[in-house]
Amino acid sequence: MSERLILGIESSCDETGLALVALPQTGAPRLLSHALHSQIDMHQAYGGVVPELASRDHIRRVVPLARQVLSESGKTMADVDVVAYTRGPGLAGALLVGAGVACALGAALGKPLLGVHHLEGHLLSPFLSADPPEFPFVALLVSGGHTQLMRVDGVGRYELLGETVDDAAGEAFDKSAKLMGLPYPGGPHLSRLAVSGNPEAFDLPRPMLHSGNLDFSFAGLKTAVRTHLVRLSLLDHADKLADPANLPVLADLAASTQAAIVEVLVKKSLSALKSTGLKRVVVAGGVGANKLLREQLDRSCARRGIRVHYPELHLCTDNGAMIALAAAMRLQAGQATLSSEPTFDVKPRWDLSAI
Ligand code: KG4
Ligand code: ZN
């Protein structure tokens, strides 16, 4: 077998992602094709992800997307050697769709399955970029549900250095944005609004900045945003929030919120680099798409001779490519537990450092 073909299926939240990765006998895995359907438009009407709707939509999308990635790379289902799927963490029903389809394909094709940790997918996604990292490195994982700093010594060698004790950074973006009347998911909307605002206009807390450890806390920030909106008589007033006359003050609040989140993320990452003595940091997860975070981290790290690696921008948020890649890297490292049993064993809660 000259190279193995891995089909990756991501369905942990509100994106259905499929991808094909080729794993040569020597050298790096290559992304052949990937396809994504985002459910953002569907959930926007509810201001957040509705789990039942997410599962039903994954069911509709997963097979057509699988056909699309196969036809785009000139392959057929019979060419697939391993079916990889997101086993957790995530929404139980949504995960079961991907796991169910993977099990069915594996059984029909007589091919093994590989359950992948969603955060490991994010963490390894920069290996698909034009500037891939080398081990070891510090990883800042900033997604909608997780904010963690990890020490990564190799595939499967992850040590948790610190994490959020309450809301994730993505949640802080999303919840603050929702209070400001912005659509779901709030992160990109809030950062767009922040462009015209003054980041020093509002004095917002930098939670746990001086806690002496590498943990985070973002719940207080959202409360502070709420308090400012109450003072401005804007909270829960959809008409006033949409009034162009209030745009400048909302832009100031958005810029101040973003500045607070980014400052904490950057300073804690620098502390993690200092305490581990490592000279490389990888940023992964949806919040890694944030422009200010990238600018500030790049600037601070450049001054200290530290290299920063990101996934390609379109692979920052959830996708199937990172799942197929993580499976390929595990296979290559001899660390994959392949299964030929069609077990529906998803793990909605699952610690990365426990794998
Ligand atoms: O990794 P991801 O796609 O999904 C999870 O695994 O959670 O991350 C989604 C999160 C959301 O909270 C979203 O608002 C945030 O990433 N996000 C951003 C940006 N793009 C996505 N936050 C700030 N700035 C952005 N440009
Ligand atoms: Zn994610």
- Looking at the fold, whether 321 and 290 belong to one and the same domain comes out as no
Residue 294 lies in a domain: yes
The reported pLDDT for the residue numbered 47 is: 86
- Looking at the fold, whether 83 and 222 belong to one and the same domain comes out as no
Joined tokens for residue 86 = 């997101």
- Looking at the fold, whether 253 and 350 belong to one and the same domain comes out as no
Residue 260 lies in a domain: yes
Mean pLDDT, to the nearest integer, of 157-168? 96
CA distance 195 to 275: 33
- Looking at the fold, whether 349 and 298 belong to one and the same domain comes out as no
- Looking at the fold, whether 245 and 341 belong to one and the same domain comes out as no
Mean pLDDT, to the nearest integer, of 176-180? 97
- N-term to C-term CA, the chain: 29
Separation of CA 289 and ligand 1 centre (Å): 7
Coil/strand/helix, residue 282: strand
**pLDDT-based confidence at 1, cuts 50/70/90?**
low
Nearest CA to ligand 1 atom 2: 286
Instruction: Please tell me what DSSP assigns to residue 339.
Output: B
Mean pLDDT, to the nearest integer, of 149-167? 96
The reported pLDDT for the residue numbered 339 is: 84
Residue 297 lies in a domain: yes
Q: Which of 12, 91, 95, 143 to mutate to test the pocket of ligand 1 (most atoms within 8 A of CB)?
A: 143
- Looking at the fold, whether 349 and 286 belong to one and the same domain comes out as no
Q: What is the pLDDT of residues 79-135, one digit of tens each?
A: 999 999 999 999 999 999 999 999 999 999 999 999 999 999 999 999 999 999 999
Q: Which of 179, 287, 319 to mutate to test the pocket of ligand 1 (most atoms within 8 A of CB)?
A: 287
pTM: 0.94
- Looking at the fold, whether 20 and 139 belong to one and the same domain comes out as no
Read off the CATH number of the domain in which 263 is found. Answer: 3.30.420.40
Residues lining ligand 2 (ion), CB within 5 A? Answer: 143, 318
- Looking at the fold, whether 243 and 337 belong to one and the same domain comes out as no
Nearest CA to ligand 1 atom 13: 187
Helix (H) or strand (E) holding 40: helix 40-44
**Count of domains observed in the chain:** 2
Average pLDDT in the chain:
95
- Looking at the fold, whether 209 and 141 belong to one and the same domain comes out as yes
Amino acid at 283: V
Is residue 323 within 8 A of residue 66, CB to CB? The reply is no
pLDDT over threshold 80, residue 289? yes
pLDDT over threshold 90, residue 71? yes
C-alpha 159, offset from chain centre: 18
The reported pLDDT for the residue numbered 293 is: 98
CA distance 257 to 261: 6
The reported pLDDT for the residue numbered 336 is: 86
Helix (H) or strand (E) holding 113: strand 113-117
Residue 130 lies in a domain: no
Mean pLDDT, to the nearest integer, of 53-58? 96
- Nearest bound ligand to the CA of residue 323: 2
Residue 289 lies in a domain: yes
Residue 15 lies in a domain: yes
Last residue of a domain, one of 310, 328, 343: 310
Residue 153 lies in a domain: yes
In this structure, the strands spanning 3-10 and 280-284 are unpaired
Is residue 268 within 8 A of residue 147, CB to CB? The reply is no
Mean pLDDT, to the nearest integer, of 285-299? 96
Separation of CA 168 and ligand 1 centre (Å): 10
The DSSP string of 13-25 is SSEEEEEEEEEES
The reported pLDDT for the residue numbered 343 is: 72
In this structure, the strands spanning 113-117 and 82-88 are parallel
- Looking at the fold, whether 155 and 300 belong to one and the same domain comes out as yes
The atom number, within ligand 1, closest to the CA of 177 reads 14
With pLDDT > 70 as the criterion, what percentage of the chain qualifies?
99
- Looking at the fold, whether 120 and 187 belong to one and the same domain comes out as no
Range of the domain at 230: 135-310
Separation of CA 285 and ligand 1 centre (Å): 7
Q: Give ligand 1 pocket residues (Cβ under 6 A).
A: 13, 143-145, 170, 173-174, 185-188, 191, 285-287, 289-290, 317-318
Nearest CA to ligand 1 atom 11: 144
- Looking at the fold, whether 220 and 299 belong to one and the same domain comes out as yes
CA distance 110 to 80: 10
Separation of CA 118 and ligand 2 centre (Å): 6
Joined tokens for residue 124 = 């390894």
